[in-house]
Structure formats: C-alpha cells, structure tokens
Amino acid sequence: MKKLCCLLVLSLFSYICFATGSDKLQPLLDEIWQYKLSISPIQATRQGIHDFDDKLADISPKALAKQDSQFREFLKKLSHIDKAVLNRVEQISLLIQQRQLQNYIDQYHFNAHYMPLTSESGS
C-alpha cells in the first residue's frame, strides 16, 4: 500500500511537471487525494498535512459503506475521461488511480475490513 501511495505521489508530481492535457483529470485526482486524506487522518499527518490531526479513521460499517460508495463514484467519473486526449503521463496517472480505486472497492466487497492485520500490513 505504501508503494502504491508513493507511486501515486510520483505520478502526480510528474503530471504537474509535464501537464499538457485534460481539464478534467487533474482536478478529479486532487479531489480523490483530498478525500483519501480526509478518511485516513494518520496518512495525512504522515504526508505533512495537519488538517486532520485531531481525528482518527472512522471504521464503522456505515463509514466503510460510504467510502465504498464514494470510491465507486470516483471510479465512474474517471471512466468518463477520454484517454485519447491525455498525454502519456496523464494516461499513467489515470490507470494508477483507477487501479487503486478498484482495489479499495474489491477489498470492501471481499470484507478485507474484517481482517485488519495481515502479513502485508499491520494496520
């Protein structure tokens, strides 16, 4: 998971440096990033963002269902972006984000939240 986050940050940085295309993609990626930080306050603090320092992640069934719904909505919005108008870096950013969102959706669908400790992650 940490590797995926680092890869996302690097791809977003690359996008900023070489951006030439879509007016839709970058604002949506920013919205997704802000949402992820809001539901994962500890991760936000690790990234140097202290807006959520007074919070913990809400892992209640209602909150997890809401997160799943939001991730599905983001994935739907990303699927409506025309890849043909994106440059190579934007296409990669789009694919990485789609893969991450699909992974979150699959984890919820297969009840990964009932196994908080795994060999890959202790959180």
Contact predicate 25/81, CB 8 Å: yes
Q: Looking at the chain, how many residues does it have?
A: 123
Q: Does any domain span residue 117?
A: no
**Of residues 22, 12, 41, the one with CA closest to residue 4:** 12
Contact predicate 70/35, CB 8 Å: yes
Q: Does any domain span residue 118?
A: no
Q: SS3 of 9, please?
A: helix
Q: CATH no. for residue 38? A: 1.20.58
From first to last of its 123 residues, what are the pLDDT tens digits of the chain? Answer: 555 455 555 565 555 555 444 799 999 999 999 999 999 999 999 999 999 889 999 999 999 999 999 999 999 999 999 999 999 999 999 999 999 999 999 999 999 988 877 777 765
Q: Does any domain span residue 39?
A: yes
- How many domains are contained in the chain? 1
Joined tokens for residue 89: 């870096």
- Residue 55, pLDDT score: 92
* Owning domain of residue 72: 2-16+23-112
- Residue 20, pLDDT score: 42
Q: Does any domain span residue 123?
A: no
- How many angstroms separate the CA atoms of 106 and 20, rounded? 32
Q: Does any domain span residue 70?
A: yes
